[in-house]
Amino acid sequence: MKFRRTLIVAVSLCVLACCLPVLGAENGGGEPEGTVTKEVPGWKKERIIPWTEYVSVGLMFSSMVGSHTSYEFGMPEYPYQNPLSRLEFPLDSWWVGGKMRASFDRISIGAEALTNMNSEAQGHMQDSDWDGNNRLEIYSESENHLGRSWIVSTDLDVKIADLVGMPAWLDLRPLVGFRWQNFQMTAHDGLQIYTDPTLTPDPLPGNAIGFEQTYWQYFFGARAAIDLGKPFGLKRLNGLLQLDYGYVEAQNVDHHLLRGRRFTIEDTTGDALHGSVALVAGLTDRLSLSLDGDFLRISTSGTHRWLELDYGIDQSWNYGVNVWSEQNRISLTLAYTF
């Protein structure tokens, strides 16, 4: 994984190097790109700041809806059951954090960090196990406690719209970035049922599974800003679009608390597709409010490690090992521009 991370970073640096000629085409002076001064009859000169921001900080509230993170693995021996076991953890919850963006003549750099407000996710953790005849044999649902979890991202984009002849109301920017996610969860107070009608359901009181999952995402893509103020007769109204694709490394650590020192560990790699759309309205000259919606689809595969410290078991395989996540967020951000 370290080699692949190094490769991704090297490719990103090459992309930025290719943008250096663009970065050299900066305008002079200390004003942001696009700032103009006009003479208003009977008034002093008025400085007009473009809708792109110079430096801004924002307070963000987000809600995950219809979101989960999951993993599964197969049996590498006869009868080669696939999947053998699957666990799905809900992520629907409220998050709070901040974002910052600094815009210069040709580039802008941004960062965003969110942490969960809820201690419990909406929905249930689902644990499914199949028998050798591809029939669901055991199924359980549990409440899902959210420990301190994080979503952090940073990116750099480059302004090229004016260089390729795009209209003034459209700002198109290629970008590169990094996204890190860490989820801490505990499945608790569940109920396990069996497809065998002769077996009665078993309650699972207390904590059953401790789960930690981390995603490292290295992405590239493009974002576009559209000035919507003129068509609607408003001073500051902008639409923002972004689409990016990235390489992903993931690791799960699953501790089956009801089985002593039993762990399953997944190390996987794959890709991620992310998109977002936002509407930004200026409340005052320096204060803005934005409504954002974004989706993230992660799909990885790799190695499953079964570790039973009490019985001396340590086995690894890659048959049917998949880790994936679907995340949908709606966010409201209040930002101040310096």
158, 121 Cβ separation under 8 angstroms: no
The 10s digit of each residue's pLDDT in 268-308 is: 999 999 999 999 999 998 999 999 999 999 999 999 999 99
Taking the C-alpha atoms of residue 202 and residue 127, their distance in angstroms, rounded to an integer, is: 14
Domains of the chain, CATH where assigned: 53-337 (2.40.128.90)
129, 81 Cβ separation under 8 angstroms: no
The overall average pLDDT reported for the chain is 87
Q: Is 9 helix (H, G, I), strand (E, B) or coil?
A: helix
Query: What are the structure tokens assigned to 235, written together?
Result: 């001073």
- At position 337, the amino acid (one-letter code) is T
Taking the C-alpha atoms of residue 231 and residue 58, their distance in angstroms, rounded to an integer, is: 27
pLDDT for the residue numbered 157 = 97
Residue 154: which of 63, 216, 61 has the closest Cα? 216
pLDDT for the residue numbered 306 = 96
Residues of the chain with confidence (pLDDT) below 50:
2-3, 6-52
CB-CB neighbours of 116 under 10 Å: 23
pLDDT for the residue numbered 5 = 54
Query: What are the structure tokens assigned to 216, written together?
Result: 């490292």
pLDDT for the residue numbered 231 = 67
Q: Is 6 helix (H, G, I), strand (E, B) or coil?
A: helix
Tally of residues, the chain: 338
Q: Please give the sequence-ordered ranges of beta strands (E in DSSP) within 104-201, or none if there are none.
A: 107-116, 125-130, 136-146, 150-158, 170-194
